[in-house]
Chain A
């Protein structure tokens, strides 16, 4: 790290996001802070407007009597009002946390109790409805604030307030007022809580303080300097309750030249991408897979000439991508690649809004190598990064690129120490980590040792200077044959198929491995239509023997790349789509699978794949001896 970068990060460590906002409003008042789509128009907000909106919201929220260190919960989809309320609450010294819009009633109640929020901000009527039934059971809750009250007819509740009315009743303060408020908040004060979508047990709230968050997020900028060097457009779609979503929407724009764009509705994500044509994207692997599978299925269903053109282009581009990973391609190969890219790949990317992308950073979960390779073949610079909520918005490692060979998560970022424990677990140490789990000292002690090293729970290894993640430490399974197997590695191989949305591998203590497959409804339905398979809906599609054959072929493809003990011997297709919004569903809001719950839920399916004749025979032979 250069001296000036160190100084800069030290400066960030001693400041707060509201303070940075005021600074931007003074220094670059007229440059665009973000754009947000309303009724078809991407409304431009300049830094001056942004700060004024935050100031107004802060003044209004002050009238609710929010005290320093009190918690404010926000629930809803990504929208500009979220950012404004978030920063407004932060500038009053409150601690903000988000609740996933897909959270079930029990999860909302848990997080409201655990966080003890005094104000609940609901994006619209939908989230008011989620809270009202449990509002009486929350002693700390004083106000429910609804941002968009367009569907709020006949709602009567003593705690309910409408944001618009509240703003109307408050005079607009000037920037100086906001600066004075922000000055009262110190860098060491806690800023927000991010609930980790733990795959085991209740979510834990990671408490992060102002300065550490800014300094930690600076690792992303220093690792990808293009963010600071030139203006970039990005699309915000990750939920802001996620630390990466918060980075992209709020923090990175404050410390780099990234301009976030908000779509009309998160459902319109594909449209927003197309219209904005972002230059930088922060993605989760699921979307990269989903887009890739839609492209592949679209090509499969295309006319013969067009498909032939695509196949022809792929034949040149695949070896080219390989050579590019190895760093050796000559001018002739470059020219041919440029030609096929312009003729075939650019039109594909243009339809997705991917054609101007200079950098796609994938994080949050491991990205299947095949998916990354496909995007590289198409000419999209996808890199993988590795970070966790506990790094306070920063990352541990990331591939620098451009076009790095898939299969690792790159080199450690500046300002963070990474070492591997004896059992291979990745340990990190940095001045800018999270403060601890909210009201959970025990869990904090469990992962944060006294000497400052934080246990990530992931197992990794160094290969050619880059960190390669092997698996979640506690997620190994041992088969009856005694082989230790990493299920997520196999699941990734299975998910590489465009027809597979989710795959869960079972086999702990069993003779062989099996998998439960959730089909990707869109692509499989496309395939069904193209192949004259009649279906009426999701369940009828999953029950069709031709679909079973299709998935079997896909699994055989994955098996070909796996060791013998890792191969999937049998599978079942889930008769319904996994829905994180549903109570007790075995997926987290970020669509991580809770394996244990999955087994409990679909026990019949899993057990049905194992032949237990022997066991039954023995049990029958014993004839109830044990009972006597």
Chain B
């Protein structure tokens, strides 16, 4: 997503502020300006359906980015992602129902819930690794869903909790276009936080832990501290996504947070490409749009009516096939494909980096 070295010649840094600038070259500045231009004009030309799709992509991006931080960078596998989203959504739902809390209260409350859960469920990671850790995070999922279910039935919201659209500074967020921009800003902020975390001390510590814990510890990195930090930051960001999800849908129910959602998030970072923030964004986009694309494809077939009942099954099945294909054929994910294309042009007219072996 970001690189420490500019790709074009002639960019030398004369102080550390320049060295830390996110955009180094003119090409990058132009690229970003173009991207912002597209993102800003999109809602004014898109249909409501496309707008909704874009909002879903932004929501999924926040979740995928935070999972990428935890799994892709710090190397701590988690299957409790849906549980964390549910925790954020239920915190929001409960607070609005019970005390009619406004947006500016529910959002930090959700983040706080995430922090507490991250801290508690990060503890097993100090002792467990790999598959065992994955199973222990699964517990988080079931506990949150159980508690949410209890709340729903005990308070008589067995069909789910309805949440009013929030208002921001006297402006009620009902319009799809307004939501688009709110979610875009949140997703962009998450991305920025992740970039800055990863290129600073904590990010380097996470990567060191991921590569080899013993060596990281020998380097003076506090393993338990940084592992817990990864869980806490990732969980709080995920819960914030849950809060936004609750408001955006206007409705919270435990059915929306099944184990399949966790799998989907893991799929996002695998398909996108482990260890890359761009990969998280690409994966979130791909996994969100994929079912709609399958549906659209099925509709092109003759005798659509007969197939109507099977769309779900086809969706699940093709999702599984795509997952396997990615794991087997392109372990680096979408970002691997993207990098290969990019390198082809960046290295032009060479195939490999020239002067790589040059010694004085």
Interface of B is mostly: loop
Residues of A within 8 A of B (CB): 35, 37, 40-44, 261, 266-267, 269-270, 273-277, 290-291, 294-295, 298-299, 301-303, 306-307, 309-310, 344, 347-348, 350-356, 522, 525-526
B349 and A348 contacting across the interface, CB-CB below 8 Å: yes
Q: Which residue of B lies closest to A350 (CB)?
A: B9
B16 and A270 contacting across the interface, CB-CB below 8 Å: no
Whole-angstrom CA separation of A266 from B360 in the bound complex: 8
Interface of A is mostly: helix
For chain B residues 227-278, which have a beta carbon within 8 Å of chain A? none
Whole-angstrom CA separation of A378 from B206 in the bound complex: 45
B351 and A301 contacting across the interface, CB-CB below 8 Å: yes
For this complex, 12 residue pairs linking A to B, each with C-beta atoms less than 8 Å apart, are A41-B15, A275-B9, A290-B358, A294-B354, A298-B351, A299-B349, A302-B351, A310-B349, A350-B9, A352-B354, A355-B9, A356-B9
Whole-angstrom CA separation of A352 from B355 in the bound complex: 8
A347 and B354 contacting across the interface, CB-CB below 8 Å: no
| Given A273-B9, A306-B351, 16 further pairs, Cβ under 8 A | A35-B14, A40-B19, A41-B15, A41-B19, A266-B360, A274-B9, A298-B354, A302-B350, A306-B349, A307-B349, A348-B350, A350-B9, A351-B9, A352-B354, A522-B358, A525-B357
* Chain B positions within 8 Å of A261 at CB level: 12
Most-contacted residue by chain A among B8, B14, B352, B354 (CB, 10 A): B354
- Minimum C-beta distance from A372 to chain B (A): 20
For chain B residues 1-54, which have a beta carbon within 8 Å of chain A? 8-16, 19
* Chain B positions within 8 Å of A344 at CB level: 349
A/B pair count, beta carbons within 8 Å: 86
* Chain A positions within 8 Å of B353 at CB level: 351
* Chain B positions within 8 Å of A526 at CB level: 357
B360 and A294 contacting across the interface, CB-CB below 8 Å: no
Q: Which residue of B lies closest to A356 (CB)?
A: B10
- Minimum C-beta distance from B11 to chain A (A): 7
A43-B355 contact, Cβ under 8 Å, with A277-B9, A306-B349, A351-B9: no
- Minimum C-beta distance from B28 to chain A (A): 15
* Chain A positions within 8 Å of B360 at CB level: 266-267, 269
B14 and A43 contacting across the interface, CB-CB below 8 Å: yes
Whole-angstrom CA separation of A276 from B14 in the bound complex: 11
Q: Which residue of B lies closest to A77 (CB)?
A: B360
* Chain A positions within 8 Å of B13 at CB level: 40-42
Q: Which residue of A lies closest to B11 (CB)?
A: A275
- Minimum C-beta distance from A45 to chain B (A): 10
B359 within 8 A of A: yes
A275-B351 contact, Cβ under 8 Å, with A40-B19, A267-B359, A526-B357: no
Q: Which residue of B lies closest to A352 (CB)?
A: B355
B171 within 8 A of A: no
* Chain A positions within 8 Å of B14 at CB level: 35, 41-44
Whole-angstrom CA separation of A122 from B355 in the bound complex: 31
B104 within 8 A of A: no
Whole-angstrom CA separation of A291 from B360 in the bound complex: 11
Whole-angstrom CA separation of A163 from B358 in the bound complex: 33
Whole-angstrom CA separation of A388 from B359 in the bound complex: 27
A295 and B11 contacting across the interface, CB-CB below 8 Å: no
A522 and B354 contacting across the interface, CB-CB below 8 Å: no
* Chain A positions within 8 Å of B358 at CB level: 270, 290, 294, 522
* Chain A positions within 8 Å of B8 at CB level: 350
- Minimum C-beta distance from B201 to chain A (A): 16
* Chain A positions within 8 Å of B9 at CB level: 273-275, 277, 350-356
